[in-house]
Amino acid sequence: MSADRITDYLSQFSQARSQMTEQLGRVVIGQAEVVEQILAAVFTRGHCLLVGVPGLAKTLIVSSIAQILDVGFKRIQFTPDLMPSDITGTMVLDENDQGKREFRFVRGPIFSNIVLADEINRTPPKTQAALLQAMQEREVTVGQDTHKLPEPFFVIATQNPIEQEGTYPLPEAQLDRFMFNIYVDYPTLDEEKRIVSQTAKDETPELTKVMTGKAIINLQKLVRSVPVSDFVTDYVVKLVRATRPKDPTSPEYVRRMVDVGAGVRAGQYLVRAGQAFAAMDGRFSVAIDDIKKAAAPVLRHRVAANFQAQAEGKTSDDIVADLLKTVGESEPAKYVATSGAVKKRL
């Protein structure tokens, strides 16, 4: 593929991203970083966990993204009495055209392109586990049959960090399935004024669909083809290994304040996120800044801070921020990808 063709694709990608952001801005005020991270996950086949107090438009953001994408959307309200079959589907005894009774699989709401798992921590681990296979293998096994999920497919879950009564913490295996753990923070003063002012208007903007499911799949392929230099790969590996308290390269404060560090999947997600951020900006090379931008949402739920960290007033976010200052960058000798390397990747 020629360099001009690549440039055209990246330009179209950047324009599509701008159109999506513009449409979302008609409904969602502020939260630009949250939107950017969700879109990056969409274009890398990743899943997101949105964490924030009630009333910060978490559900609105997800439903609005579903409106501007011409794909299927299902919302599952997670409650304590929700059963795994309520998510994946179940076998029912039915009568066919010949009058013979046979079992038929009725698909659950997981069979959609975008699945909103609302308040995911309000349902028991047994039901939470129903999402594990779907999120990893993109398929569901019921009985002896395995059913493929539609493409594109991604789960966006929401969670309230302050409500503890009647909630079930997500196990590490479940958390690790999420590419990003995104913190939804309070709006700024000006943004909050606009939100309150807009409430007085009896208007509900109609959002225009910007992208089809096929276009999303094509852009996912484009993102995966963005070259990642050895320089960037080395930095990613150094950063991830530095989160592990038993690794000889980890700083002293990590050994003191971290029980468990990030696994290999964290490095894979950092690279994919870097590819997405680069492509969304119209660049066909991943920079160190792209990795640093993805570090907090990728690592915060994979770095387990211990009691010593709590005693010192440190959170996982603080530790990741310190690591970004501590972990050095290697010499960028092989940083610039040649046109030949680009063609080879494509």
Q: Is the pLDDT of residue 26 over 90?
A: no
Alpha-carbon dihedral angle through residues 160, 161, 167, 173, given to the nearest 10 degrees: 100
Taken in order 142, 147, 150, 151, the sign of the CA dihedral is positive
Residue (of 278, 244, 254, 34) closest to 156 by Cα position: 34
Look up residue 220 and give its two tokens: 């996912």
Q: Is the pLDDT of residue 340 over 50?
A: no
Residue (of 91, 82, 179, 85) closest to 136 by Cα position: 179
pLDDT of residue 47: 95
pLDDT tens digits, one per residue of 163-213:
666 678 888 888 899 999 999 999 999 999 988 888 877 777 888 898 899
Q: Distance between CA atoms of 252 and 242, rounded to whole angstroms?
A: 10
pLDDT tens digits, one per residue of 171-182:
888 889 999 999
How distant, in Å, are the alpha carbons of 53, 103, 310 from that of 93?
Answer: 43, 4, 54
Element (H, E) at 260: strand 258-260
Q: Distance between CA atoms of 205 and 188, rounded to whole angstroms?
A: 22
* Arch. (CATH architecture) of 3-84+110-215: 3-Layer(aba) Sandwich (3.40)
Length of the chain: 346
3-state DSSP assignment of residue 257: helix
3-state DSSP assignment of residue 337: coil
Look up residue 153 and give its two tokens: 């497919």
AA identity, residue 68: I
* Average pLDDT value for residue range 227-236: 94
% of the chain exceeding 70 in pLDDT: 92
- Average pLDDT over all residues of the chain: 86
pLDDT of residue 332: 47
202 vs 333, residue with greater confidence: 202
Place of tokens 């310190």: 322
* Average pLDDT value for residue range 148-165: 86
Which phi and psi angles does 178 have, rounded to 5°?
-85, 125
Cβ-based neighbours of 306, under 8 Å, separated by 6 or more: 257, 258, 259
- Check if the beta carbon of residue 312 is closer than 8 Å to that of residue 299: no
User: Where do the domains of the chain lie?
Assistant: 3-84+110-215, 227-345
Alpha-carbon dihedral angle through residues 195, 197, 200, 206, given to the nearest 10 degrees: -50
pLDDT of residue 40: 93
Classify residue 170 by its DSSP letter: P
pLDDT tens digits, one per residue of 80-109:
889 988 999 888 887 777 777 877 888 999
Please state, as a whole number, how many other Cβ atoms lie within 10 Å of the Cβ of residue 331.
Answer: 8
Confidence of residue 346 (pLDDT cuts 50, 70, 90): very low
pLDDT tens digits, one per residue of 249-291:
999 999 999 999 999 999 999 999 999 999 998 888 899 999 9
Residue (of 273, 276, 290) closest to 335 by Cα position: 290
Return the HEC string of 289-319.
HHHHHHHHHHHCCCCEECHHHHHCCCCHHHH
Contacts 24+ apart (CB under 8 A), 315-319: 317/183, 319/243, 319/253, 319/254, 319/257, 319/258
Cβ-based neighbours of 284, under 8 Å, separated by 6 or more: 6, 7, 10, 226, 227, 278, 337, 342
Q: Distance between CA atoms of 214 and 237, rounded to whole angstroms?
A: 33
23 vs 11, residue with greater confidence: 23
- Check if the beta carbon of residue 118 is closer than 8 Å to that of residue 62: no
Place of tokens 């997405």: 276
AA identity, residue 244: R
pLDDT tens digits, one per residue of 104-129:
888 999 999 999 999 998 888 888 88
pLDDT of residue 338: 35
Confidence of residue 329 (pLDDT cuts 50, 70, 90): low
- For the entire predicted model, the pTM comes to 0.87
| Domain spanning 227-345: CATH 1.10.8.80 | yes
